Amino acid sequence: MLGGTIKRKFWGRGSLLCIGTLLGLLISVLGALWGLNGWLAAYQGAEGWAGKNGSAGKNGVPEETLAESSVLRDPPKKADKNDSVIVEEVRGIIQTQYPLEIPPGVMDAASIDDMLLALGDPYACYMTQREFTDLMDVINMSFEGIGVALEAHRDGLVVSKVYQGSSAAEAGLCPGDVIVSVDGIDFGGMSLGESLSLLKGKAGTWIELSYCRGTERMTAHLERRVVILPQVEGEISGSVGYITLSSFGADVDQEFLKVVQTLRGQGAESWILDLRGNGGGLVESALTMLGFFIGDSDAVLWQTSKETAMEKAVRQAVSLDEPLIILSNEMTASASEIVIGALRDYEKASVLGGRSYGSGRFKQIYSLSNGDYFMMTVSQFLTPIHKVPVDFVGLAPDIRLSDEDAEKAAMLLLKSGTDQDKEKAQDKAQDKAQDKTQDQTGYLKWEIGAQSFCVNLADWRKEDNWRVGQTLMDQCFGSTLMSVGSVQGWLPISEEDLADRWRIYYPGYQLLGFRDMAETEPILIETSLPEGLESCLDHAELIDEASGRRIDVRCILKDQGLEVSPQEGLASDGVYWLIIENGEGQGGIGVLNGVEPVEP
């Protein structure tokens, strides 16, 4: 196949990677981070590093490719990168392998640093043996450390997670503990990098930690060990399987399969694939992961200035055909973008969150005669069907949401109402060609990308889901379509419905009237109640339109209309819905509009 030609060409001399722009920074700080869960700790905790500079994209090659390569077989020689032999090796690689036009000044540069500066490839770099080994450990989530993830804290480093089987777990460290010193050296006034550098060291060495738990100060003696973190983690919520994929390292497909089988055994019938913060991994691992969703179909288009070729996914024994939502953000890069691009092209997934990073290049790592390595761009990649470019622009989500909202929205869209409603709701969501006269009362339908999701209005109305529901509706005329259920079937959402959203939350309810809130209470709505609602006033509720918060209210029917007495103060500029219903999904709504204060 065409992909085979490309693979032989690119993989013939070393390791194929797909790495983001933080590689150089990653390499420069790995020494300071290695005493801990190195890269992961910085990734989660260094606000001025990963938080502001994007994703540490980290794609590579399959383990078997590395094992067969001279990269690992050749004994290292002692020449450094300024040795004339090494400089000429790098120059020859650029001259014969660089896929784009070589800028002026590269071929006559006196040093590797000067060559890289003239080349202008943001991904090109020189790596020592240690830096290469560190990078591959990062990809495979393997670290020498005490087994914790950390975040910056004013007094030191706060533990955000403790990994099973680590020395930290055995010593009893817990999330929330604040490490304040190591071997008697206090962290006060230190930067994150300085604090982490005190924790570095080889497996088998010991350190003494001092940490605070609440007001109590404690001490622990910990051994640094090799810690292998899970690339794939999963949990079940109702019938939704939530899978977090942190890296595309070796054997990620085996980890993924185990998690899928476990969650299916627990009742998973739809999936959330969380790729937020996943900067990539092995190219081959991305192709094997896609095999769970698209079999052995075309997966990614490789492109140079001279040729293009298609690489196929690797078919897996287990297939995932259920509804799928992918979460992405600005730190979703490289191999993650290969997966997102292909699944979008094949209409297998909807994407919520932020635009991905935009690391759309493959990079080749070449072994040098001194045992070190040189890496540079060898091709760009595009999505397989629609040939969407990725490099520098990233992939836009179907709905743009914050990290917090994306997670809640995905769960809300996939959770098909109560257990009693689940079967009915799933049938509605998956059958677009159903009879339009069928009764759909009590549901909303969302079409996001190529998938449909059916949401129980009872879930949509919950205060916990209110804000994310409002955010989704703000975008429902973008790449999404939204319909509200009725006895006649699905009815499209109009501009009027979006302006008066009570029509979406309580479709079919009768409007009792509007009333601007006066300075004094109670508030009188001049209306007559529909038949059957007079006896339901004791169960009326007042809802804050902005937050969904419920407010106790007392209603009395008088000759002039309905007297409404909130049991707490209302915001002068707020909007509130008065809901009165008969318990059978029928009722009325009164809308109370706040009055803006008048400036004196």
Give the whole-number percent of the chain exceeding pLDDT 70.
81
Quote the pLDDT of residue 518.
66
Nearest to 381 by CA among 395, 408, 362: 362
Quote the pLDDT of residue 519.
58
In which band, very low, low, confident or very high, does the pLDDT at 426 lie, cut at 50, 70 and 90?
low
Summarize pLDDT for 360-375 with one digit per residue, the tens: 988 888 999 999 999 9
In which band, very low, low, confident or very high, does the pLDDT at 529 lie, cut at 50, 70 and 90?
confident
Quote the pLDDT of residue 427.
55
In which band, very low, low, confident or very high, does the pLDDT at 534 lie, cut at 50, 70 and 90?
confident
In which band, very low, low, confident or very high, does the pLDDT at 149 lie, cut at 50, 70 and 90?
confident
* Between residues 543 and 58, the one the model is more confident about: 543
Which amino acid, one-letter code, is at 444? L
Show the DSSP H helices in 348-415 as ranges. 403-414
DSSP 8-state secondary structure symbol assigned to residue 406: H
* Residue 281 pLDDT exceeds 50: yes
Q: What are the DSSP calls for 187-230, one per residue?
A: -TT--HHHHHHTT---TT-EEEEEEEETTEEEEEEEE-EEEE--
Summarize pLDDT for 52-93 with one digit per residue, the tens: 222 333 233 222 222 222 233 344 445 788 899 999 999 999
Quote the pLDDT of residue 430.
54
* Between residues 64 and 498, the one the model is more confident about: 498
Quote the pLDDT of residue 305.
80
Report the chain's C-alpha Rg in angstroms: 29
Residues 365-389, mean pLDDT to the nearest whole number = 93
Backbone angles phi, psi at 215, to 5 degrees: -95, -5
Residues 499-528, mean pLDDT to the nearest whole number = 86
- Close Cβ partners of 59 (under 8 Å, ≥ 6 residues apart): 16, 17, 18, 19, 139, 248, 280, 281, 282, 283, 286, 334, 335, 362, 363
Q: How many CB atoms lie within 10 A of CB 539?
A: 13
Instruction: Name which of 11-25, 56-70, 294-308, 350-364 the model is least confident about.
Output: 56-70
Residues 545-551, mean pLDDT to the nearest whole number = 95
Quote the pLDDT of residue 517.
80
The token pair that represents 538 in the structure block:
């004791």
Q: What are the DSSP calls for 243-274, one per residue?
A: EEE--B-TTHHHHHHHHHHHHHHTT--EEEEE
Residues 435-453, mean pLDDT to the nearest whole number = 84
Summarize pLDDT for 188-237 with one digit per residue, the tens: 888 777 888 788 788 999 999 999 999 999 999 999 998 888 999 999 99
In which band, very low, low, confident or very high, does the pLDDT at 13 lie, cut at 50, 70 and 90?
very low
* Between residues 432 and 444, the one the model is more confident about: 444
Nearest to 383 by CA among 320, 305, 297, 278: 297
Query: What is the pLDDT of the chain when averaged over all its residues?
Result: 82
Instruction: Name which of 22-36, 43-57, 88-102 the model is least confident about.
Output: 43-57
* Residue 9 pLDDT exceeds 90: no
Give the whole-number percent of the chain exceeding pLDDT 90.
54
Summarize pLDDT for 340-350 with one digit per residue, the tens: 999 999 999 99
The pTM (predicted TM-score) of the whole model is 0.80
Residues 458-480, mean pLDDT to the nearest whole number = 88
Quote the pLDDT of residue 16.
53
In which band, very low, low, confident or very high, does the pLDDT at 572 lie, cut at 50, 70 and 90?
confident
In which band, very low, low, confident or very high, does the pLDDT at 39 lie, cut at 50, 70 and 90?
very low
